[in-house]
Structure 1
Amino acid sequence: MIGTHAQDSFERIFFGAARTRLVTDPQHACEITSASNDVAQGEHVVVLTISSMQFRLLLLLHVKDDEATRDYYTGDGSRAVLDTFMEFANLCCGSMNQQLVEHFPDLGMSTPYSLGSQCLPYLRELKPDSVKSYALTLDGRVRLGATLCICTHAPLDFIAAERVGEHESAGELELF
């Protein structure tokens, strides 16, 4: 069971990370709205996992390989959009991990991997406690999707601190 404070905290942490880590320029806006859970918002889904003894969070970022997304993330087109986007996805998940570690010191984070969007309906097989999907618009032109899937192993509730406009790090490598 996941408490309302925890659900709100996960959402706020994701929103903050998306607004600072999924954009290529800090001046670019990242608008986030609710979306349908089972509707794919791109042909690729980049999956990252944050796990602790209490929960497992899957961050699924839906990516279209369209002209707007390619221009935004690759610029000159010298790299595949999915390869470049995975680096931004990893930064976003890393930012979430940094904030969650304040409450859960035993966290582990996966490396990003890609699945086809047809896999989204199978999230139900994990028997999640919470699944929420969002539509993201970056710089008014790039459309992404995001799904937060949270599975708990025990009752979970916490309150994450508000972080308004904070940009903690540039995503440099942390040594453990």
Structure 2
Amino acid sequence: MASPHPDQGSLSATCGVITVSDTRTVESDQSGQLIKSKLRGAGHRLEAYRLVKDEPEQIASLVQRLTPTVDVIICNGGTGIAPRDTTYDAIATLLEKEIPGFGEIFRQLSYAEIGSRAMASRATAGVYQSTLIFLLPGSSNGVTLAMDALILPELHHLVRQIKG
């Protein structure tokens, strides 16, 4: 596989992490803790970490409040098709630009790991008010896959593209 052209310089993105769940607490939020750890380990700054119930208005409001203070928001949870999975619904309408390749590649990689159940994922990414937003599943395996294979390798490049 060919490597893309390298980005010049280094970039430490300012990040927000949102866990969407009706049941998780700070103590039981393994996926949120995993995202925070991976971001810090890659040299990025964590500006905000929040848990929010799977209520569309609360999710959208939190994203809108965080957007002016961060370069990147990574949400986990609520991206499936169950009735209480509303993260995608709450955020998709806010996105000014979608990054469809993220969801497509994520589902392809997920399919290799979990088979046909990957089709139920509504993981996506996009841009809202110059902030890069990722919507990930709540599972730690899905978070690890997305962070290691897609987000961390391209975060520098994507933020530079958005910020100009």
TM superposition score normalised by structure 1: 0.29
| Structure whose residues are more often helix by fraction | 2
TM superposition score normalised by structure 2: 0.30
Whichever of the two has the greater Rg, that structure is 1
| Structure whose residues are more often strand by fraction | 1
Bigger relative contact order, structure 1 or 2, given CA contacts below 8 A and separation 6+?
Answer: 1
